[in-house]
Amino acid sequence: MASSTNVPVIVGVGDFKNKSLKVEDAHDPSELMIRAIQAALADTGLGTDIQHNLSAQIDSISVVPPWTWTYPDLPGLLASRLKVLPQHTYLAPHGGNGPALICDEAARRVALGDSMVAVVTGGESLATLAAMGKIGKMPPPNWPKPNPTEKPIAAGGLSVIGDTVGTRHSVGLPVQVYPFYENGFRARRGQTLKENSAESARLYAEFDRIATQNPFAWNHGRPPKSAEEIGRPSPKNRMISVPYPLLMNAFNTVNLSAACIITSVANAKALGIPESKWVYPLGGAGTHDSDDFWERPNFHSSPAMEAAINSTIESSLITKDDIDCFDFYSCFPIVPKMACHYLDLPLTGGAKPITLLGGLTSFGGAGNNYSMHALTAMTRELRSGRFNTGLILANGGVMTHQYAICLSRSPRKGGSGYPSRNPLPHHLEGLSTPQFLEYATGEAVIESYTADFDRTGAPRLGHIIGRLVETGQRFIANHANEWTLLRLADSNIECIGQRGHVQSLEEGRNVFKINRQAGL
């Protein structure tokens, strides 16, 4: 454990939202981050002069990387704008787990005496980037020169992943992999597709109601959507991949930023920051499942998620029952569903909220930075006295990266020091996974699946994760014929467990066809 004399506290939080798409308001992500940091400084309740003293003490700046734009040195750029010379700067790896990770690490540096004042921040200008692209203002005026050696995630797609067995089958994006988990989790629980879709729609209707009441949400002030609107495919809510229509997918085209300021109790007292502003990080933990989704144990659970939640609660010296609010990452319904299932929480209508923001569809995806907004929102809720202790689960990749952190109105029990390390390994080890075959031929059964749709609402490409009947070996395949594709796309048909035949083509792809007698 770190020293108990340097107890870390969050003393300032800030969010910034830029709804304007005018050229004169085309601010890059770094500008949005500066505005969030300035809001966090003001949030401490200090007078302007003392805020300047606090700002001058900033010796650590950690940043969640934006999808929108690349920078040669983004933490350095922020430091220059803030007129500080931090000893520690860090740009996290891409992933929605980043906000919880850098908040935990910043609290640890404060606790170890390695930092006096730490800033964690992130932001996106994806809405502005899209608007400027439409009117031919690229690069947007007054934006810094991009890093010439790095490609923005926003301009990616499967090309970002590189040449893998997944990309050879045109699969590997979040809109495809999360549906594998949704379908696998649904089948595991014995739900029909229609029951599952109704459940997801009720969940996201509840999330949307929360977001429309949140002043920092992209959808703030809009009429809440009903479960029927969210669950029913329509021209404005077209199917993306089975089983998700558009309104069950993250919405990333936003201009949002957030920041937290972390210091020690001793420094907060010395500066005169009111105790009503203090929120205590209790501990955090994170790990990763396999980067290759086909090398995972199954498609109905996430060992990394379960380990991150467990270890965070243990390292925070609390129990599950001590937590009275949550914010679960929610790029797709499956993430909060699996978290609720693991923690035995009701998915909707529970006494303990599972989102404070309203989810990535309604609050706004903000690229990698969604859970930074969860940190600011939870800090405000804890200060208000509505809750005492909360847990944030930040998820990244394709159910790959998991990091959780607990915040509380009260310090750690017994005056113990902040955990001196993340208790989990980088990747979980010792997991039993099926042997994977890159090229497969033979009788097989569907383990999980999805199907992509085109913009007209017609199914375009089927994706199957299957197992050979004889050996149990796993493979990836596309649909082999139109009949199989139509069955994969049909919300009245359960395809998991259906048998068929897989064969490997010369081009390096596997294709799978469902046995017609099995599908009757």
Work out whether the CA dihedral 346, 219, 226, 337 comes out positive or negative.
negative
d(CA 171, CA 158): 8
Q: What's the confidence (pLDDT) of residue 152?
A: 81
Contact predicate 63/121, CB 8 Å: yes
Work out whether the CA dihedral 174, 329, 43, 119 comes out positive or negative.
negative
Which single residue is written with the structure tokens 């870390």? 8
Contact predicate 336/200, CB 8 Å: no
Residues 335-392: tens digit of each pLDDT: 999 999 999 999 999 999 999 999 999 999 989 999 999 999 999 999 999 999 999 9
Nearest to 377 by CA among 119, 386, 368: 386
Does residue 520 carry a pLDDT above 60?
no
Contact predicate 325/387, CB 8 Å: yes
Which single residue is written with the structure tokens 């400084």? 41
Radius of gyration for the chain, computed over Cα atoms and rounded to the nearest angstrom: 23
Q: Please compute the mean of the pLDDT values over residues 445-463 and round it to a whole number.
A: 97
Confidence of residue 150 (pLDDT cuts 50, 70, 90): confident
Residue type at 322 in one-letter notation: D
Q: Please compute the mean of the pLDDT values over residues 108-113 and round it to a whole number.
A: 98
DSSP-based three-state secondary structure for 168: helix
Bridge partners (DSSP) listed for residue 62? 90, 120
Angle, to 10 degrees, between the axis of helix 193-212 and the axis of helix 334-343?
100
- Model's pTM, two decimal places? 0.97
d(CA 46, CA 23): 34
The encoded tokens of residue 374 equal 């969860």
Contact predicate 339/354, CB 8 Å: yes
Q: What are phi and psi of 243, to 5 degrees?
A: -105, 25
d(CA 96, CA 1): 27
- DSSP letter assigned to residue 506: T
Higher pLDDT, 151 or 464: 464
The encoded tokens of residue 442 equal 């033979």
Does residue 3 carry a pLDDT above 60?
no
d(CA 505, CA 509): 5
Q: Please compute the mean of the pLDDT values over residues 423-434 and round it to a whole number.
A: 94
CB atoms within 10 A of CB 212: 18
Nearest to 373 by CA among 243, 220, 244: 220
d(CA 483, CA 84): 63
Q: What are phi and psi of 296, to 5 degrees?
A: -100, 155
Q: Please compute the mean of the pLDDT values over residues 174-203 and round it to a whole number.
A: 98
Does residue 154 carry a pLDDT above 80?
no
Q: What's the confidence (pLDDT) of residue 157?
A: 65
d(CA 353, CA 390): 10
Q: How many CA atoms lie within 13 A of 184 on its CB side?
A: 22
Q: What's the confidence (pLDDT) of residue 4?
A: 59
Contact predicate 433/297, CB 8 Å: yes
Three-state SS string over 194-240 comes to HHHHHHHHHHHHHHHHHHHCCCCCCCCCCCCCCHHHHHCCECCECEE
User: What DSSP string describes 471-503?
Assistant: T--EEEEEESSHHHHHHHT-TT---TT-EEEEE
Which single residue is written with the structure tokens 């001793």? 266
Confidence of residue 519 (pLDDT cuts 50, 70, 90): very low
**Domains of the chain, first to last:** 8-139+252-408 (3.40.47.10), 442-514 (2.40.50.840)
DSSP-based three-state secondary structure for 147: coil
DSSP-based three-state secondary structure for 143: coil
How far apart, in Å, are the Cα atoms of 70 and each of 28, 125, 162, 359? 10, 12, 19, 26
Residues 51-96: tens digit of each pLDDT: 999 999 999 999 999 999 999 999 999 999 999 999 999 999 999 9
Does residue 247 carry a pLDDT above 50?
yes
Nearest to 179 by CA among 337, 349, 355, 362: 337
d(CA 463, CA 177): 10
d(CA 182, CA 171): 16
